[in-house]
Chains A and B, each alone.
Chain A
Amino acid sequence: MMEIIDANTLFGFWPFRRLDMSLLTLFDNLKRHGIKGACTLSAKGIFYDFVQGNEETLQASQAHEWVIPVGTVDLRKFVGYEEEIKRRREQGFKLFRFFPDYQAWSIESILFRKLLRALNDLEIPFMIPAKTFKMTKLAEVTGGFKPPIIVESSHYYDTAEILAVMEENSNIYVETHWLHGPDSIETFVEKVGVERLIFGSSAPLFYIAPALDRVLNAEITDRQKELILSKNLLKAVMAP
């Protein structure tokens, strides 16, 4: 049986619709799908206070072995972000995620450039959604950034541009939950290599089966599925 790790999950509270976002429910759901571990973070860090959110995430990871803690900072606040990144890095956070759509900031702002410098210095990878800006702009803004960048939510409307950007930027990876087209995963494997695809579901906001079954049913080898489902994440992001 292949090891599966979900790179894209959340827990906490969801203000936009009634949803059970508890860690326990997330765990049950992951387990039902044979998923061993998950990169996750508290939604409090997205919507309210990143220090408090990261603290909840840390506590979750200390209480549950399956939790891989993911940090975040909110550039609307900015103050204290650098210290927070350093502190969480020391506590074992190996990946950060950012949410410009929910927090209404731009990747073109000086705040993001400063954040990138801090992450680069500490060699911390990050994940960011692609749907609110064009990938070309992200590639321009992150030029010179060395650690992996995982782009979340690559819809078929963005596929061509993401492929083109990935061909020229070897540190950009794509998380798979929106690679739902009939050729999507196969095309990425062919054009940029299987090593840069990382499985994520966006649970508990989304069902897990759509994203997971898409990978499991992709017309690629079992070895390639194994890489997408866990090994690429472990190598690119979790390796010491």
Chain B
Amino acid sequence: MIIDVHVHFGDWFFPIESAGVDSILKFMKKYGIEKSIISSSLGVVYDFMEGNKSLAEAIEGYDNLLGYVTVNPNYQEESLGEMKKYLAPKNFVGVKMHPSYVGQPFTSEESIALMKTVEGLNVPLLLHTYGESAYQAAEVAKKCPNLKIIMGHMGGDAWKAAVRAAEEAENLFLEPCCSYPESDKIREAVDAVGAERIVFGSDSTLIEPVYVLGMIEDADISQREKEMILYENAKKLFKI
């Protein structure tokens, strides 16, 4: 069984057609993914409120599709409003922040203020981490010690920095979906923080799930550790 904690819904500015709920469901069936936790691509790259609305409409009625509320640190009040609107009554189970598209590094005062707000709501945060920013993740995580932060992409090309950050801050979780499936990254992450702080995400519909599943398949770790990464850890983390 698999829970995919990093899925996108909606069109992209790339030649990718498979971006709707139908495609997500097709991949889930094909690869045995029980649940997908999804953010809106529209919300991530442009208008988070319009994106959250379209996502809520798209996943309504599906027990196996869950949502992230996308927030924007430039809009603190509105972000809080969105979280209140979707987290309690709807099938939204976490919050998504993507610094690249809002002109705010996650180390900025505004980003940290928003993270503290999320911390008070007791839901996990999926935070896009890629490149140099991974070096600052531990410092930021320590400012919000009760917030469970999933490092989306596990730092990307700076994955070693992400692993070191997670070693330093126990509220950091690693999620390794990435275009760079380096052949030692999963083993090294497990050695550093234990399998219990790694969760599976695919980055679908930017990346086909089988690509990241292949990383776990090939990783030099035990079957038990793979099960934890693919399913159990996310189930506990999101209480689903």
Contact = CB atoms under 8 A, between A and B. Distances in A.
Contact of B15 (A180, A183, A207, A210): A183
B181 interface: yes
Most chain B Cβ neighbours within 10 Å, of A18, A163, A181, A212: A181
Interface in B215-237: 215, 217-219
A36 interface: no
A210 B176 CA distance: 13
Interface stretch (B76-84, B127-135, B142-150, B204-212): B204-212
A24 B47 CA distance: 52
Contacts of B75: none
Nearest to A203: B183
B71 to A, nearest CB: 25
A182 interface: yes
A187 B15 contact: yes
A156 interface: yes
Contact of B14 (A19, A178, A181, A203): A181
A89 interface: no
A212 B23 contact: no
Contacts of B213: 209-210, 213
A160 B12 CA distance: 12
A207 B208 CA distance: 15
B211 A213 contact: yes
A102 interface: no
Contact of B18 (A155, A157, A163, A183): A183
A155 B17 CA distance: 16
A178 B179 contact: yes
Contact of A180 (B17, B183, B207, B218): B207
Interface size class of A (residues with CB under 8 A): 20 to 34
B27 interface: yes
Contacts of A210: 181, 210-215, 218
Nearest to B12: A156
Contact of B23 (A182, A184, A209, A214): A182
A214 B181 contact: no
Contact of B214 (A19, A178, A212): A212
A209 B215 contact: yes
Contacts of A109: none
B30 interface: yes
A155 B179 contact: yes
B14 A159 contact: yes
Given A156-B206, A207-B215, A210-B215, A19 B15 contact: no
A227 B135 CA distance: 43
22 contacts: A19-B184, A156-B206, A157-B14, A160-B15, A180-B208, A181-B205, A182-B16, A182-B18, A182-B207, A206-B181, A207-B182, A207-B217, A208-B218, A209-B213, A209-B215, A209-B217, A209-B218, A210-B181, A210-B213, A211-B211, A212-B214, A213-B214
Given A19-B184, A211-B211, A212-B214, 5 more contacts: A157-B14, A184-B208, A205-B182, A213-B213, A214-B208
Closest 4 CB pairs of A and B: A209-B214, A210-B214, A207-B218, A182-B18
